[in-house]
Structure 1
Amino acid sequence: MPQMVLTSLSPDWPCQVKAPGTHDWERTATRWLRDLLPARYAGYSTLTRHHVLLARHAQLQLQHEMRAIRVALETSRVELPALGVVDAVIENTIRMYAVELEQLGRLARGVRLVGDALLVSSGVPGRRR
């Protein structure tokens, strides 16, 4: 298995994952990726045994979460008053969604980086984005 060691990591590289090429980095990457998924996915051995599939699924999961947050953000001012939610709570909800969308974006960038590093580690050239 080819080893790669980066001299500097992207600011989007997750702090919970060791640098590629260091001892046990793939285990930390797998654990981090698995933690991003709903708990029910831990029982799927296909995902837990194949790191690249796990990274792909985590990326898809985050994309769907981001879509859901965007819909919630875009519809809050129209739909929440009809549910009896007061303006102050609506504004707090919109801020919460905006913060969550930013956080999910950071996680998605981290998943892409980790996934690319796992591909290289397994001998498959990384994706270019």
Structure 2
Amino acid sequence: MSGGTEVTVVVSDCAEDDARTVLTALGETFTPDRAPSARSGGRATVWSSTFDVAHPKEHAAHAVPLEHPVTVTAQGGYGAVDRVVAELGTVFAIDAQGSAAGDQEKDVHLRLHGR
């Protein structure tokens, strides 16, 4: 995978089912590098996966329900992160929580709600 087309997505502040729903929705369009992984630190668990957005798959996007709001951080190249955020916006309601920009990459912090 090319570094300019990879986006690391971290899902937190939610139940495992909601995290899997978000990562599965992204996997319907973008190729994940591996199955989502979970990390626990104290009481919090986060799920993550890295997606290659260079060659999106064709599929019909549809609204996806979530039991509760989910926190998502996407990190990667500017255009790649924008593609991930746009895809998330086709299936979830999004509240932008902030972002940080660097020379070659940016981080975007979102709160997703089911539609």
| TM-score of the aligned structures, taking structure 2 as reference length | 0.27
Structure richer in strand, relative to its length: 2
Please tell me whether Structure 1 or Structure 2 has the larger radius of gyration of its CA atoms: 1
Structure richer in helix, relative to its length: 1
